[in-house]
Structure 1
Amino acid sequence: MFIKKYFEEIKLEENRITLGRTITETDIVIHAGQSGDFFPHHMDEEWCKTQPFKKRIAHGTLIFTIAVGMTAQLINEVAMTYGYERLRFTKPVFIGDTIKVKVSIKEKKDHKKPNYGLVTELVEVFNQHEELVMLCEHILMVERKSQA
């Protein structure tokens, strides 16, 4: 869905939650091929049995990529990504886990370009047990409705 929501119209603590997405073995294999990350933590079931989690875990970068994609259900035509900060993987995600993403407006501030403001979204990813598995801050540069 496309919207136009200007800097002044965005409210602190607004939030939205995505639908769920189940992580599959195919996701892991494709991501390994695209990223070159074939670490045994993701690819070697037998080796993983000797490790603390006892099974393969999804790449953190895979979870980040899927989570960001899940938030693209809503596209603000007057905003663009400025960057991501404070990325953390707080729990492993396993094959068969279902994740969903909560996006909350955390902060708004001025930008050096007077026609824009910066909006920081807190992006939280939860598994099917409502456990936080990843979080980061997504910074957006958003047009002002009233041009300075």
Structure 2
Amino acid sequence: MHIHQQFYEDYHIGDSRTSLGRTITETDIVLHAGQTGDFFPHHMDAEWCQTQPFGKRIAHGTLIFSVAIGQTATQINPEAFSKGYDRLRFIKPVFIGDTIHTKVTITEAAQDKKPGYGKIVEHVEVFNQHNILVMVCDHILLARQKTITSNS
């Protein structure tokens, strides 16, 4: 991880980056269940899951969200901060042994209500090892505008 100073004006619609892959393990699921208290059988009961259409345990959506966003956290930008996430959708289940990677694309850049800042929207797409889309969301961040000095 490194520091990368990027102001509002440095973001360009269409720019994208893709993370490395990360395999989801049974340990990930068990730890996430313990952290969140979500012990639903969809995640924890292999025998019950065999009676369901998906056939095997699935990772928590919140686990996939957490891992995916962590995959995008490769640099520290002191000029921007996260405002949150919109339009989060779990498209397909992620199973133990699946490897996910995350693609982030700048889809929006506009002046913000907060003076001196611009709003950036990063569209986040998460794919499994078969390049099937499993999760999407929009990350909203505010980036400081470059200071323009005047000669007056």
TM > 0.5:
yes
Given that 1:114 and 1:147 are in contact with CA atoms closer than 8 Å, whether structure 2 keeps it comes out as no
What CA distance in whole angstroms lies between the structure 2 residues aligned with 1:16 and 1:42? 30
- Structure 2 unpaired stretches of 5+: none
**1:92 correspondence with 2:117:** no
Q: CA RMSD in A?
A: 1.1
Deviation at 1:78, TM superposition (A): 0.6
Given that 1:115 and 1:147 are in contact with CA atoms closer than 8 Å, whether structure 2 keeps it comes out as no
For 2:133, the aligned partner's letter is L
Question: Equivalent residue for 2:69?
Answer: 68
Kindly report which structure 2 residues correspond to 1:10-25, keeping only aligned pairs within 5 A, or say none: 10-25=11-26
What CA distance in whole angstroms lies between the structure 2 residues aligned with 1:146 and 1:137? 27
* Structure of larger gyration radius: 2
Question: Equivalent residue for 1:102?
Answer: 103
Identity rate, percent: 61
- Where 2:27 maps in the other structure, the secondary structure is helix
TM-score by length of 2: 0.95
**1:115 correspondence with 2:120:** no
Question: Equivalent residue for 2:140?
Answer: 139
Question: Equivalent residue for 1:128?
Answer: 129
Aligned CA distance change for structure 1 residues 71 and 136 (closer, same or farther; 3 Å): same
- Structure 1 unpaired stretches of 5+: none
Deviations 1:21-59 (A, max 9, x none): 000000000000000000000000000000001000000
For 2:103, the aligned partner's letter is K
- Where 1:63 maps in the other structure, the secondary structure is helix
For 1:24, the aligned partner's letter is T
What CA distance in whole angstroms lies between the structure 2 residues aligned with 1:110 and 1:100? 30
What is the number of residues matched between the two proteins?
148
- Where 1:94 maps in the other structure, the secondary structure is coil
Deviation at 1:147, TM superposition (A): 5.5
What CA distance in whole angstroms lies between the structure 2 residues aligned with 1:79 and 1:119? 9
Deviation at 1:87, TM superposition (A): 0.1
TM-score by length of 1: 0.97
